[in-house]
């Protein structure tokens, strides 16, 4: 026995077993105590409530929902709404952030001043404050009766923003999104496997051909999914005290989109600026020595190198921005967090619903981080410790 105790490997294994066993014991005790307390209060545990009807409405839903729908469907509505908000806000934040980051490193005094002002203004104001500001501003727009359409079919009203829509089925929209995502993935794979070995002009032609074919297939899918006896484009039209037709973007959704996109863009701009500043000057000087144009140096040398440098930090920022979609509860946007909060108040199944909320965000954020990390592994330079 003493020999076993003196054996370092056995002693370390015993300590680890005791530590893990202690954690498991604490969790088991917490579950048993929680179940006992719930039974004492007359509350039932388990996930059977997910099959019960909710009895309450949801203001914004991407799928069919009614008061007779189950809690499971309501939670699905919340997840889809959060994914929809993140899928739009994150790309917009990226485009704005890259543009502002380029402005801050352009060497143009006016552009740098505008970029710096943008970053300092929106990065230092709390996100919740910006959300309330944009929401109040949207609610202050004219009533539908007094709103005049702009750009031929967009109506800015206090009840929402009406934009032209497509008379197509949801399946065709889903198929179009799959086509574009598959094209993007194929472009990344070809960029890593084939295009680096080709002449720049030939690789450029293949890129244009790939995206042209993809867009044609996407347009055909949209046309085949057109609702019979309707025009492809549906424009909003004034009808009495409101607008009819088109797509209505609610003030809650628009405020969340604008707030998250602008707030995230301010941080992304600083990340991008740091990436450009980390590129050695010799890279640009080599391009100028070869007679390349400033745009070619930026698009083919500086931007790809900056993306390689900042990609890990951008992944972390994207995960944080998606978690920020929960601020929609402050203005009653029915995202994942608000659906769970409402379900807790209506059903009383607090522990189960919080577990669903935590598990949902863990799965979504981990999946997003996993995909982006695979992209990072595909674009980084092999055989060197440097990111560039």
Q: Report whether 246 contacts 162 (CB < 8 A).
A: yes
Count how many domains the chain has: 1
pLDDT reported for residue 268:
95
- Distance (Å, whole) CA 98 – CA 272: 6
Residue the block writes with tokens 């935590």: 358
CA 34 to chain centre: 35
pLDDT reported for residue 387:
47
Q: Which residue has the higher pLDDT, 87 or 349?
A: 87
pLDDT reported for residue 381:
67
> What's the pLDDT band for 6 if we cut at 50, 70, 90?
low
Let me know if residue 131 belongs to a domain. Answer: yes
Q: Report whether 88 contacts 323 (CB < 8 A).
A: no
Let me know if residue 214 belongs to a domain. Answer: no
Cα–Cα distances (Å) from 182 to 188, 214, 215, 307, in that order, read 10, 9, 12, 21
> What's the pLDDT band for 18 if we cut at 50, 70, 90?
confident
- Distance (Å, whole) CA 219 – CA 168: 11
Best-predicted range by mean pLDDT among 16-25, 166-175, 359-368?
359-368
Structure token digits, residue 9: 């490997």
Query: Domain range holding 136?
Result: 71-148+251-379
Q: Report whether 167 contacts 232 (CB < 8 A).
A: yes
pLDDT tens profile 68-116: 889 999 999 999 999 999 999 999 999 999 999 999 988 888 999 999 9
pLDDT tens profile 241-250: 777 777 788 8
pLDDT tens profile 133-176: 999 999 888 887 777 777 767 888 888 888 887 777 777 777 88
- Distance (Å, whole) CA 90 – CA 123: 16
pLDDT reported for residue 44:
64
Let me know if residue 274 belongs to a domain. Answer: yes
pLDDT reported for residue 2:
61
pLDDT reported for residue 117:
94
Q: Which residue has the higher pLDDT, 32 or 353?
A: 353
CA-closest candidate to residue 325, choices 354, 364, 355? 364
Check whether 281 has a pLDDT greater than 70.
yes
Give the lowest-confidence range in 13-22, 34-43, 142-151, 349-358: 34-43
Check whether 127 has a pLDDT greater than 50.
yes
Let me know if residue 56 belongs to a domain. Answer: no
Q: Residue 316: which CATH number?
A: 1.10.3720.10
Read off the pLDDT of each residue in 172-191 and give the average, rounded to a whole number: 79
pLDDT reported for residue 243:
76
Let me know if residue 318 belongs to a domain. Answer: yes
Let me know if residue 219 belongs to a domain. Answer: no
Check whether 236 has a pLDDT greater than 80.
no
Decide: residue 253, CB within 10 A, 0-12 exposed, 13-18 middle, 19+ buried. Answer: buried
pLDDT reported for residue 388:
47
Q: Which residue has the higher pLDDT, 172 or 129?
A: 129
Whether the full predicted model's pTM is greater than 0.85, yes or no, is no
Q: Which residue has the higher pLDDT, 257 or 225?
A: 257
Read off the pLDDT of each residue in 289-303 and give the average, rounded to a whole number: 82
Check whether 215 has a pLDDT greater than 80.
yes
pLDDT reported for residue 185:
78
Let me know if residue 230 belongs to a domain. Answer: no
Q: Which residue has the higher pLDDT, 388 or 192?
A: 192
Within 10 angstroms of residue 3's Cβ, the number of other Cβ atoms is 7
Label residue 245 left, alpha or beta by phi (over 0 means left) and psi (-120 to 50 means alpha): left
> What's the pLDDT band for 197 if we cut at 50, 70, 90?
low
The mean of the pLDDT values for the chain is: 83
Let me know if residue 154 belongs to a domain. Answer: no
């Amino acid at each position: 026995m003493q020999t076993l105790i003196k054996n370092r490997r056995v002693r370390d294994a015993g300590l680890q077993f005791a530590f893990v066993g202690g954690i498991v014991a604490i969790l088991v005790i917490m579950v048993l105590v929680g179940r006992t307390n719930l039974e004492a209060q007359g509350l039932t545990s388990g996930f059977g409530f997910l099959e019960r009807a909710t009895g309450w409405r949801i203001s914004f839903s991407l799928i069919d929902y009614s008061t007779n729908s189950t809690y499971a469907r309501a939670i699905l509505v919340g997840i889809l709404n959060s994914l929809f908000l993140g899928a739009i806000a994150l790309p917009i934040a990226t485009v704005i952030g890259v543009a502002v980051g380029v402005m801050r490193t352009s060497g143009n005094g006016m552009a740098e001043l505008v970029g710096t002002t943008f970053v300092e203004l929106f990065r230092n104001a709390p996100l919740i404050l910006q959300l309330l500001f944009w929401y109040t501003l949207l609610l202050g727009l004219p009533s539908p009766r007094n709103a005049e359409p702009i750009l031929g079919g967009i109506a800015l009203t206090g009840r929402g923003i009406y934009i032209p829509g497509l008379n197509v089925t949801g399946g065709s929209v889903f198929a179009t999104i799959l086509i574009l995502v598959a094209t993007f993935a194929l472009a990344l794979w070809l960029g890593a496997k084939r295009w680096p070995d080709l002449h720049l002009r030939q690789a450029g032609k293949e890129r244009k051909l790939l995206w042209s074919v993809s867009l044609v297939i996407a347009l055909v899918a949209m046309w085949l999914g057109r609702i019979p006896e309707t025009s492809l484009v549906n424009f909003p039209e004034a009808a009495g005290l409101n607008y009819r037709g088109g797509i209505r973007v609610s003030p809650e959704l628009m405020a969340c989109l604008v707030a998250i996109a602008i707030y995230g863009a301010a941080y992304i701009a600083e990340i991008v600026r740091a990436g450009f500043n980390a590129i050695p000057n010799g890279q640009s000087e080599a391009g100028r020595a070869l007679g390349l144009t400033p745009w070619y140096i930026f698009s083919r040398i500086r931007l790809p190198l900056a993306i390689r440098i900042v990609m890990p930090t951008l992944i972390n920022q994207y995960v944080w921005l998606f978690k920020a979609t929960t601020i929609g509860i402050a203005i009653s946007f029915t995202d994942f967090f608000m659906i769970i909060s409402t379900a807790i108040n209506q059903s009383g199944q607090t522990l189960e619903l919080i577990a669903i909320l935590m598990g949902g965000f863990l799965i979504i954020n981990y999946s997003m981080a996993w995909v982006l990390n695979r992209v990072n592994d595909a674009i980084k330079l092999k055989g060197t410790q440097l990111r560039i």
